Structure 1
């Protein structure tokens, strides 16, 4: 039998094996990918995407890595299956046009059987159903019996990066945990018997927008061996979580909770596994510079931290604990990833902030659940349960437990439907490696030159139509009314970048006019998105490209204002403030920045005044293109999320601000005119957002607010300065009116109920009253039932109402003698409500319930009367 190896040993043996065969060992790339189309690094091949696309020449023909990866598309399976994770390490060997199938297969087999010592008779391989070459290599070169080579379809064994781009058949190696079951019926989808641990992708085709496959110029190899899966096999444990890669983290969480993992029930083990997996993820994400927020990868981090806290609460951990569990994860990671220990303080600070904030959020979730249970008398809806889960991090299991105490149920089908919608959104957002941002452009790239950008100095230019796309497909011409994408040989239009939106404008020529509503940059091409207003546009045609200068001026003012805003924040609030995101639109600007606390109103005012002072001082912009090292030496600040080459563009307002920026700007701060902050809010833990307007947009902003003030003044017959007092007065009047209305409703219900006293019947020594009151809300119905019970003495009262169409409200009030006889109001009225499609409950002497089918109410009341009559008769 093979020798057990630690996770560290497996990783090193893999890398050493391929290094000895001419592969360059490369470090793991960051979990924040260079590729802006992908949220997180989700595969070992992702760092090599430009090479596979032919956009960059490889420095080495062969490479091997252990790549950190994050995937969240199957997050709900984490802890519930043996090998689903959010964080995992993918061991890979790559060939960039060097060796191909035969060598890849031979080395994979040698590694598995000789280095890791896996018995050949316990290995099964799969190949693409049409890949006769791979089948023959496994059978004839390696010597695997044909019955242990499974042909599988495109879904399982044809790797694709997205709708278009490089792709190819793949071959996978599986380990058999239960060979005693025999070879008669090998089912590789039986994951209790087989585990796929090594995937060999033969990247030999390119798929175009029509789905056509054409051979690539270079045949590449892209493989992935799951470190956690190999550890499970070699360490002979039942799942990936109990390997030395994860179990020490689980053990740390169990000790904090006072739990013996070996003796724990299955639900507790699931929670511990979730904590172990997710803590590993968040430690590496924070190390790579990700901070929690409500957008993008920051949202992924926040969601993972909240799931850790939530599952800690499920297993009985009170208070903050994540930093203590993180210590175990840091200790495990530091040998392979020393930077994790260096970032220990940042990791723990981020966890502590998020956990403390979320514990408060959980408290608010509990209050919301109490409100829902008070409102819904029969069932917590799926959307409500999902809101508790997704917004407040409230476990649906805990929602169920508390609801059952109130004799309510939870619409689990509706909850799952909402969960599935979220999974779909997650898959769409995170799990596709689209190797071609636009497949048609890749097809044309060899024949079209990069777009020449003239927009820093020119506002219009004569250009030639190089590429015309209709519905994403290349076209020679397009008629009026058609939405098109156009690439020109040169353009004055700025393409969306660095937070600044793309220019708007027109392309005009002989009898043709195209309105351009957006411009984006794809690789080296400026893609103009527009609609042909008249005439016919043809490839090769000459047009005049004219930007909308009013829009450009607005964007310039807002963009330059963001630079002044950052400088003012660093000067007046904290010199360590850095940008965390931005938007520069024609009508507004948004600036996100790292700051652990909200700004005070005084600080907001001071920042606004400082920016306007710099605007009035008329600082002239100085722009130059210099080597990046020189720019950094001068103190230029880099823009968030931007990738820079060897030469960078530096925008300098001397004495005020100096940043690397490829956007369009005013030539002098005086052109901004005026700057106005609209709001300062928090968007994530440690991240604040300022929204503002500059230049002509300020006048638009003030005009809108002036119209609102004028309208309110006319409505309330008050001067603008009197509006606040007038609104406060009306709010108080409304509150008093609402109280009066509630009192009137209660008095009406009591008056109606008094008329029912004559309908009470005697059942021995008890009084019995079952009746319906029209148009009475649930609270008033309860008050009426209590009052009638008091007036009747020993007896039972059941009242019903239909306050809204298809909504039934029921109340039962029992005297002490009735309760003593064995009847309980909560159980009784809950059973009656089921006849109306609902449920409910409460105390033995007083309980409420509800239903959805008002047509069944007469039947339900008749049943209530009959049951009470029988029970009270027997009690006498």
Structure 2
């Protein structure tokens, strides 16, 4: 590693970069959210993404030059995280941007200047690459910068033609590499050799737009988009062998290692990989949650859940058996908060989400790992090397065990997984359970962008009209524009006029039909893309063509339910503000046909009395029959009148105001009843916390209340029949049964403890003397963890100065271990927590505890005798 480089922290590198370009007329802008505005991209993957509309000419830039440190997430190479020197899911991209201002010559000159003058890289340590046909860039590097031709490499489109995606802004690029071994000379330079070269700065000459067919058209302006990898710069300047050992990530790794009771520097390669995965992924999830992403099974929520689960999984691989993610998250927050204050501001939400996901996944792991261990054991007995797709799908479908986790564990056991078989099983399930709702294809937006100049924007008439005569503007099949489509085809249709409300503001889209001459299309969902309403449905009869005249008709019954639930949501917020806290504000909502959900900011749970009062207040307003007044007002006037706006929502200069006089006034584009009496009745069915400081109320209104009560009435009648009591006596009967069960469990625990003590007394005869100490190391049959601890403590009490280590297999495949050490043993440097944690690793587990008493667990019962032998030899050597 070169010794002429000045050590710089990650924070110092970031500051020097931004200051350099600020001094050259660039506006320093904050990092955009990891949730991009661009609907075609799941997560922010590059520094240029927030500026994509500017590059496309869709937005006029406020500044001609800008510089940022942009946080990014990429998961396409997730399996390489921790295994290579420079793959991360989360990284920071330092960038300088020109929007139709300077171009190649100035970008290259400044790129060289900051590299050699600010970061003091010797020119002998730098190599550059250019796109194979970019003679202009080649000449600038050679003639103006003075780089020798031998150190300018021409590369193809895979390396030096950058694009933000399949479609969108793109252009040739030029990259700057750091050469760790210039002494090897300029002959046969191979930039793919990452033991010698690292690419740290990419200069993209953004001058084209690529469409879905791959055609390139010149952009209105020639732009500059650059990216300098902060982590890569830190690796070079901090003289460490990989990105993970920089001050941007290593403190997180150190925290995880400390929790596991291990030393990163002396760990084997597999352990280091796990620690690196934890370091990278924890950094990623902290920033994702701070940007309001929450774990789920779809989209970016699934990315978050997958990363958290990988952290937990790798924690277990290094011996951490309990919950630990919030502790390592605290380190990630500490090292990030100076540049990104929001991670500290959202600390409670971050830790709450991590704790919830980790707790749930630990339960999943326990169930799934047990079954997977049985599957693997059977395969090894049969001499097979592949887990079937059916088995992998059972783990996924029944136990929530992710496919990628099954693959990881399989790889650890030198096995493979039949992924094709898994996908086939998944498709069968989808066909069995496919419902009417069809999620929007990201290619829809791209297709509409291309057609935008040739079609009319949708005229929404659904506030006052349940039907409309309209013309078919666009037909999309799988997101691809078609002139016609036949019966049986799933389509996305854009009309010039529609009564269908498109999903927005928490309210789901209308359902209904589009019909015409011999044509019937069932509309299952409606979404809004820019100014176009996209109707998702299936053609039930006939052939539909672009230009056809059709009738669009909503399902009036479904609309009435939506209106009732949406207005009830407004009344609910008003009641919460009135009865609980005026400062309550909306944090999210869902208005569906059968229910409503309202998330709100509140630091505490509501009391049962408050929930009842809120429900009664809403029903009072319903009974009072308040009429709705709908107005379009200037935003400033609406706010001056007291209209409630949703925090963080973007509004235009004019807004739609829904006013139930004296009760509720909100900015809202949704559909509502004309009078609160139309709602009928309102019932809260649950109130719970969903994140730190955020509560959720779920409720039903109108006819859905009757459905809700009918279901519960049936349950009560069933319980009455089973217990042979009156309905009002059911709670008392259940309480009695619960008390009986608790008493029985207590008696059982007492008997187990007594049995363990009885068994343990016979072990006193096996005690060995080691100098002045006595030790007992033994396996007890059919003893659970709690009873094992009771036995160990009793034995140590009788031994006096000594140590006891006991193991048991309380259930198939599960190992329990207990260590009890006297104070004198502790003084010899033997600590029960650290000792038993290391022993448990032999059984594929881990654990810890106090110096005098600790417990651990494992998954491989066949290794218990080996683990106990190791414990005995370690005690003898430690006490000798």
TM-score over 0.5 for the pair = yes
Q: 1:591 to 1:280 in 2, by over 3 A?
A: same
Cα offset, 1:200, TM superposition: 2.3
1:102 aligns with 2:105: yes
Cα offset, 1:276, TM superposition: 3.5
In 2, distance between residues paired with 1:9 and 1:491? 55
Tell me the equivalent position of 1:460.
467
Say if 1:365 and 1:388, in contact at 8 Å, map to a contact too. no
Q: Deviations over 1:322-377 (max 9, x none)?
A: 56655544443344334555x2xx41564267448735863774476567768986
In 2, distance between residues paired with 1:169 and 1:141? 19
In 2, distance between residues paired with 1:386 and 1:177? 46
Cα offset, 1:244, TM superposition: 2.9
Return the structure number with greater relative CO, CA threshold 8 A, min gap 6. Answer: 1
Cα offset, 1:226, TM superposition: 0.6
The partner residue of 2:200 within 190, 197, 203 is 197
Alignment of 1:797-836 (within 5 A): none
Say if 1:160 and 1:167, in contact at 8 Å, map to a contact too. yes
Say if 2:502 and 2:528, in contact at 8 Å, map to a contact too. yes
Tell me the equivalent position of 2:24.
21
The partner residue of 1:672 within 679, 684, 700 is 679
In 2, distance between residues paired with 1:119 and 1:597? 58
Q: 1:529 to 1:246 in 2, by over 3 A?
A: closer
Q: 1:304 to 1:484 in 2, by over 3 A?
A: closer
In 2, distance between residues paired with 1:507 and 1:294? 32
1:488 aligns with 2:491: no
Cα offset, 1:39, TM superposition: 4.3
Say if 1:62 and 1:94, in contact at 8 Å, map to a contact too. yes
1:333 aligns with 2:340: no
Say if 1:369 and 1:399, in contact at 8 Å, map to a contact too. no
In 2, distance between residues paired with 1:323 and 1:704? 40
Tell me the equivalent position of 1:413.
415
In 2, distance between residues paired with 1:841 and 1:332? 43
Tell me the equivalent position of 1:521.
528
Cα offset, 1:261, TM superposition: 4.1
Tell me the equivalent position of 1:848.
none
Per mean C-alpha deviation after superposition, the further-off stretch among 446-455 and 321-330 is: 321-330
Q: 1:227 to 1:677 in 2, by over 3 A?
A: same
Q: Deviations over 1:634-660 (max 9, x none)?
A: 554444774333433333334444433
Alignment of 1:246-261 (within 5 A): 246-254=249-257, 259-261=262-264
The partner residue of 2:225 within 222, 227, 247 is 222
In 1, distance between residues paired with 2:133 and 2:282? 42
1:500 aligns with 2:503: no
Tell me the equivalent position of 1:611.
618
Cα offset, 1:439, TM superposition: 2.3
In 2, distance between residues paired with 1:355 and 1:27? 29
Per mean C-alpha deviation after superposition, the further-off stretch among 553-562 and 623-632 is: 623-632
Say if 1:310 and 1:395, in contact at 8 Å, map to a contact too. no
In 1, distance between residues paired with 2:483 and 2:351? 56
Cα offset, 1:227, TM superposition: 1.0
Alignment of 1:76-475 (within 5 A): 76-254=79-257, 259-290=262-293, 297=300, 300-301=303-304, 304=307, 308=311, 311=314, 315=318, 325-326=328-329, 328-341=331-344, 343=345, 346-347=346-347, 350-351=350-351, 354-355=354-355, 358=358, 362=362, 365-366=365-366, 369=369, 378=378, 383=392, 413-414=415-416, 438-469=445-476, 472-475=479-482
In 2, distance between residues paired with 1:539 and 1:349? 49
SS at match of 1:82: coil
SS at match of 2:347: helix
Tell me the equivalent position of 1:60.
63
In 2, distance between residues paired with 1:222 and 1:706? 64
Q: Superposition RMSD on alpha carbons, in Å?
A: 5.0
Number of aligned pairs?
Answer: 716
Cα offset, 1:11, TM superposition: 1.8
Long gaps (5+) in structure 1? 401-407, 426-433, 732-778, 780-808, 810-838, 845-876
Per mean C-alpha deviation after superposition, the further-off stretch among 168-177 and 635-644 is: 635-644
Cα offset, 1:50, TM superposition: 2.3
Say if 1:78 and 1:273, in contact at 8 Å, map to a contact too. yes
Q: 1:392 to 1:513 in 2, by over 3 A?
A: closer
In 1, distance between residues paired with 2:230 and 2:492? 44
SS at match of 2:565: helix
Q: 1:131 to 1:385 in 2, by over 3 A?
A: farther
In 2, distance between residues paired with 1:569 and 1:416? 53
Q: Deviations over 1:434-482 (max 9, x none)?
A: 9975222222223444333222233334444444445544455666666
When the two structures are superposed, what TM-score results if normalisation uses the length of structure 2? 0.68
Per mean C-alpha deviation after superposition, the further-off stretch among 230-239 and 328-337 is: 328-337
Cα offset, 1:239, TM superposition: 1.3
The partner residue of 2:555 within 543, 548, 553 is 548
Cα offset, 1:229, TM superposition: 0.7
Cα offset, 1:223, TM superposition: 1.6
SS at match of 2:67: strand
Cα offset, 1:35, TM superposition: 3.9
Say if 2:131 and 2:174, in contact at 8 Å, map to a contact too. yes
Q: Deviations over 1:556-584 (max 9, x none)?
A: 12222233344445556666665444332
Cα offset, 1:245, TM superposition: 2.7
In 1, distance between residues paired with 2:544 and 2:309? 53
Q: 1:16 to 1:688 in 2, by over 3 A?
A: closer
In 2, distance between residues paired with 1:514 and 1:142? 64
Tell me the equivalent position of 1:805.
none
Tell me the equivalent position of 1:871.
none
Q: 1:138 to 1:328 in 2, by over 3 A?
A: same
Per mean C-alpha deviation after superposition, the further-off stretch among 76-85 and 261-270 is: 261-270
In 2, distance between residues paired with 1:389 and 1:102? 59
The partner residue of 2:667 within 648, 660, 680 is 660
